[in-house]
Amino acid sequence: MVKTKKTSYLVKLNINIYAETVGGDQMYDHHGCAIIAKPKGSVLELPEETFENMFKYGGISMQTTTNDHYENTCQARIDVEDIASIETKTVSTVFDNFDMSIQEAIDKFQGREKPIEVACSKELDLEFANESENIQ
């Protein structure tokens, strides 16, 4: 039996995070308004290593897409001060040892019985509908 545990962190933002180009320039929509990459209240799931580095270096820079209907690729910078709350998420997985190889499992899957076909027609649907009306 193999057990694994993966920890990540759910980080809720306390401000809007604005979209930037890869060069660091702010991105604007066709109305001249700054584009929001991650709105206030958004929750980001960060892997443990990324979360640790965020606090080590004071923030992170991530590639994402804009939060508008264009979904442009952009860069977003998130500072430690931009965090409203943090929750820990832990996922545990248990793999049980099976007495078959991968090839045996594939062969078994491919050789399984075909699903039972159920008759379906307009007449049959009408018959079922009439039966249900008679029950009420």
Examine the domain organization and report whether 90 and 112 are in the same domain. no
Residues 87 and 104 in one domain: no
Does position 70 have pLDDT exceeding 70, yes or no?
no
Q: Which SS3 state, helix, strand or coil, does residue 71 take? A: coil
For the chain, helix, strand, coil in percent to 5 are 25, 40, 35
Number of domains into which the chain is organized: 2
pLDDT in the model for residue 115: 63
Global pTM value: 0.63
Residues 84 and 120 in one domain: no
- Average pLDDT score over residue span 65-75: 75
Nearest to 15 by CA among 36, 34, 32: 36
Question: Is the pLDDT score of 112 beyond 90?
Answer: no
Q: Are residues 31 and 61 in the same domain?
A: yes
Which residue has better confidence, 45 or 21?
45
Of the pLDDT bands very low, low, confident and very high (cuts 50, 70, 90), residue 130 is confident
Lowest mean pLDDT among 14-18, 45-49, 118-122: 118-122
Q: Residue 18 is inside which H or E element, if any?
A: strand 17-18
Q: Which domain holds residue 123?
A: 99-135
